[in-house]
Structures are given as structure tokens and as C-alpha cells.
Amino acid sequence: MIRTSHWLGLLMLPAASLALSGCVASLAASALGAAARSGQKPYQYNEQLQLAATGACRAHAAQHGEVQIIDWDQRTAGKVVVYGTATSGTNRRSFECTYTNKVVGFRLRAIGG
């Protein structure tokens, strides 16, 4: 005769396996991402690229008003994303500008409601 606690243990095993399978998948994805990044050459901050990016993005955003650069982020050796605002009268909008060797992406969003 099998005890009830033994049956309960047997029933809990598949449930625990199912719950942990999500953790295993997450760990595998993290390991694959780390392996992919390890094969890439590290890049260093490039001041000339940053200056070119902020200048080009400022000029592009100027079509929408007075420009204020808030921040920038060098994503790769040849890619910088610039963040800022463009204000025209009472209309103020934020922008995100992606620069490689030219402006390759520009998103403009309304601020406030």
C-alpha cells in the first residue's frame, strides 16, 4: 500500500519540473547571448563620432524647433543614439536620433498630454 504523502510527492515532481523549465530556458538564452557578445571586438568611446552624431542630429531636429540635446549613447563602434527635445512656440517634443555615418533613424514624440 502506497502512502498519500508518497503520491503527493509524485504529483509535485512534474509540477516542479514545469516551473523550472522556464528558468532553464532563460539561463540558456543568457548563455547564448553572452557567447555571442564574447566573439565581438570591444569598442572604445569615440569622441569624433559622438560630436558628429550630436551635430547631425541637432541639425535634423532643428526642422522641428529649438533643439536641446539631453543625452547620447554610443551603442557600437559606429553607432550613436542621441536624445533631446525640440521646442516650437508652446509645442515641445522629444526626439531619438540614430546616427552611423549619417542620420539613419529619427523618432519624434509629443511631450505631455
Alpha-carbon distance values, 37 to 19, 23, 34, 68, 95 (Å)? 29, 21, 5, 34, 29
**Which CATH architecture fits 47-110?**
Roll (3.10)
Q: Give the separation between CA 36 and CA 20, rounded to whole angstroms.
A: 25
pLDDT for 54: 98
What pLDDT, on a 0 to 100 scale, did the predictor assign at position 44?
Answer: 78
Estimate to the nearest angstrom the gap between the alpha carbon of 110 and the chain centroid.
Answer: 20
> What is the chain's pLDDT, residue by residue, as a tens digit (113 residues)?
555 555 556 666 565 555 555 555 666 567 666 656 666 666 678 899 999 999 999 999 999 999 999 999 999 999 999 999 999 999 999 999 999 999 999 999 999 75
- The whole-model pTM stands at 0.63
